[in-house]
Amino acid sequence: MAFDARKLKKFCQAEIRRFAKDHQDEVFYAFAIDAALLCLNSEREYKKTVKQYRERWDYGRRPIDRWDDLSPWDLQDADQILTYAEEDDGLD
């Protein structure tokens, strides 16, 4: 099946209109096509996301004195980093 740019444009226009109608009290920030997803966002939600990322960054870089101070998030992040190192760098 060939890619249909007109169909994509119509779909995006309809979804952006729906988003604007559902979020009339917000300022539209952006939309992006990511694989099979149409992602839409408002400035309010963007600011919330940035705040969450900053808090998680600060939390992840706090001093840790004991193993018991590690949270499930810390362990998940460490496990993911080790998995990447194993796959990409040949860590054994």
Residue 3 pLDDT greater than 90, yes or no: no
pLDDT class of 74 with cuts at 50, 70, 90: confident
Per the DSSP assignment, residues forming a β-bridge with 33 are 38
Show me where the domains of the chain are located. 5-42, 47-89
Is the Cβ–Cβ distance between 31 and 20 less than 8 Å?
no
Give pLDDT, residue 87: 85
Position 29 scores a pLDDT of 84
pTM for this one?
0.58
Per-residue model confidence as pLDDT tens digits over 9-67: 999 999 999 999 998 999 988 889 888 888 999 999 999 999 999 998 998 888 989 98
Residue 83 one-letter amino acid = T
